[in-house]
Amino acid sequence: MADTGHDGEQPQIYLITPPEFELSRFPDRLASVLDARDIACVRLALASQDEDRIARAADACRAVCHARDVAIVIDSHLRLVERHGLDGVHLSGARGIRDARKDLGEDAIVGSHCGTSRHDGMNAGEAGADYIAFGPVGETALGDGSVAERDLFEWWSQMIELPVVAEGGLTPELVRGLAPITDFFGIGTEIWSQEDAVAALAALMAGAG
């Protein structure tokens, strides 16, 4: 994942899978989005704790992504990365980042979701994360109601070199406002909840510049 947004270029798209999906249908939906847009990375973010289910999803989504030269990381499940030929792992906060880097090597992608905390983001960066994700940036049904405000991204883009992802509750208005100060938009349920994910993504990103 290359750094883009800080130097004024349009942020890249980082796709996040739904927490639940039909294995018979979702890989085709994912492929249609990857074929329609340039996507920097895909995060497999299943809520299930069923390792067999996650493993089958990992294999199916990896095949779609790697056929199109798109990297795929998995949320939390570090031990599945090498076993299923994935490109890295997405963790929460700074915990586990050093271990993940040691286990996976320098070439792997190790990302960190830091909620709304500048402090957690800095700690994760110091621990060796390749990118920091802040969010939600908009209204969502998940979490405790706290929101990653625009000034967090503004400060980060001015002070910190590490790429930053804005995710959670994105709207076209938020995309327009955050585009100059983020490197990636983490996009998931915003498009997968719609019948036509490709059209939904185009509408969401229309304001990005």
Domain that holds residue 154: 11-208
Is 6 within a domain?
no
Per cent of the chain over pLDDT 70 is: 95
CB 102 within 8 A of CB 89: no
* 8-state DSSP, 206: G
Band the pLDDT of 141: cuts 50, 70, 90.
confident
- Compute CA distances 82 → 15, 98, 109, 206, whole Å: 21, 17, 12, 36
Is 173 within a domain?
yes
Is 4 within a domain?
no
Band the pLDDT of 206: cuts 50, 70, 90.
very high
Given phi > 0 = left and psi -120 to 50 = alpha, else beta, which region is 8?
Answer: left
How far is 73 from 172, CA to CA, in rounded Å? 26
The predicted pLDDT at position 3 comes to 55
The predicted pLDDT at position 207 comes to 78
Is 78 within a domain?
yes
Rounded mean pLDDT of 43-57? 96
Rounded mean pLDDT of 154-164? 97
More confident call, 141 vs 81: 81
The predicted pLDDT at position 139 comes to 86
Rounded mean pLDDT of 46-50? 95
Rounded mean pLDDT of 78-103? 97
Is 5 within a domain?
no
CB 171 within 8 A of CB 20: no
38 Cβ neighbours under 8 A, 6+ residues apart? 12, 13
Is 3 within a domain?
no
Is 48 within a domain?
yes
CB 104 within 8 A of CB 90: no
Measured in degrees and rounded to the nearest 5, phi and psi for residue 96 equal 90, -10
Q: Examine the pLDDT at 75 and tell me if it is beyond 90.
A: yes
Is 126 within a domain?
yes
Q: Measuring CA to CA, which residue among 15, 5, 10 is closest to residue 154?
A: 5
Domain count, the chain: 1
CB 30 within 8 A of CB 68: no
Amino acid at 42: V
The predicted pLDDT at position 7 comes to 55
Q: What is the CATH number of the domain that holds 122?
A: 3.20.20.70
